[in-house]
Amino acid sequence: MRGMSYKEISKRMKVPVSTLSGWFQDQKWSQLIKERLQRSSIEQGTVRMRSLNKARGGELARLYEQAKEEALAEFGALKYNPLFITGIMLYWGEGDKLTKSVTKLTNTDPQMIRLFSMFLREACGLPKEYVRASLLLYPDNDKAESFKFWADSTQLESTQFRGSTVIQGKHKTRRLKNGICLIYVSSSYFKVKMLAWLDLLPKELMMRAYYESI
């Protein structure tokens, strides 16, 4: 059973995954296996995200189901990760849940945008080219200055920004000097995973067993 996931061991030995996790959570080898399986899952998930653009019909439905299974498997390895927890909670409060193909968070605070970017890259393992940003600017905002501000303060690269949209504020004089930043991932596959995590994490955090196993 060397190198097998908890899910695979559970099927073979007829022991619940939660029981296996409790038995082995403090073992160094267990953590290494979790990390290796998580990296493998992320790599495979990136490949599936790319193939989704070409999928149709039944193949598309199969990939979406795979995304849900992948999210569940990764959740076991990520649910104690502070960056993962923070990213999900930020999205719960500030993210767009309605759009089917885009995982998007909009905010005026550069630190929040930077933190969500770290979540996408480091916790979720998304390649840089999948993490993009754009700005909402008021008519009197300096476009070049605003882009520089957001790039510097969020540590996003200029190549990750995809233009801007001019908006009219409700207040005539109260303006944000550098506008508003949107950080997003355009992928239906990743959105399925994000919504699955958003459903799983709050339930997990409200269970006593979660804290007893830390």
Domain residue spans of the chain: 6-88+188-212, 102-186
Q: Pick from 6, 69, 83, 1: which is nearest to 41 by CA?
A: 69
Residue-averaged pLDDT of the chain: 82
The alpha-helical segments, DSSP class H, found in the chain are 6-13, 17-24, 28-51, 57-78, 82-94, 110-118, 143-154, 188-205, 208-212
Q: pLDDT, tens digit, for every residue of 45-76?
A: 555 555 555 555 567 778 888 889 889 988 98
Q: pLDDT, tens digit, for every residue of 103-153?
A: 999 999 999 999 999 999 999 989 999 999 999 999 989 999 999 999 999
Q: Which amino acid is at 206?
A: M
